[in-house]
Structure 1
Amino acid sequence: MIDFIKGTLIISGALFMLLASVGLLRLPDLLTRMHATTKAATLGVILVMLAAAMHFAEVGIVARSFAIIVFILMTAPVAAHVMGRAGYFVGSKLWSGTVKDELRPNYDPLTHELKSGLETQQNAKRQPRETDPD
């Protein structure tokens, strides 16, 4: 039974990593590619590490496997966020089917500064509208 579980974990992990590589090749822009590779590859590595921990069942190897899992869970989202932000700042093109770009009204491309949503709302309240009386 344990061999079946280990085999299932390894095959599932390999399939998720394959899915991540297919997503990297097939998806249209940087942000969707990063999403696919971050999510699928992270899950694939976690499944393979769980299988390795079950296979060897030694304290040292199990500890290393769980340390790798924790490291991947902590660093993959942060790395994806930083790469996505850098890609957006250097002007990588979004996919033509992108419906909403919530960063655009808050980003100044000349200074590379972001305004928080609260600052944008406050500035909108301060600016007089054309329909406001003098």
Structure 2
Amino acid sequence: MKEQNMIKPQTLFIATAFLVSLANFLFLKSEIDIQLYDTYYVISQQFFAQLLSLICIACFTLYFIYARFIVPLQNPLGYIHYILTVIPVLILVLKPSDDMQTMTLIAIIAAGLLVLGQIFMIVNIVRTRRSETED
């Protein structure tokens, strides 16, 4: 059976970083309003775009180092990590609502999903290391 060439997670991360950076310079100009308790935060969309680009570059670097020098990380967990890392911050970049309460709820959910995505990265590293030592 022929093995299919799938796009690797590190390729997805670096492509996302490039595309989000390009969109940041061309299109993003508004602010996101978030209210937590008595504090009112006004954050620009450009900040979230830069944050997403930096996170994607850091993840690309980690996947690249593991693939090049240690052992390639598992792709299925890498895809889950990619989705849980990029989608929440991308939702904030696209600013789906102008309502402050809705944006606050979306920001809290996005932060939780972002943390969950990083937990999947740690699980991926641990599982890869464990399978390497068992072989």
> TM-score band, normalised by the shorter chain?
0.3 to 0.5
Higher relative contact order (CA 8 A, sep 6+): 2
| TM-score normalised by L of structure 1 | 0.36
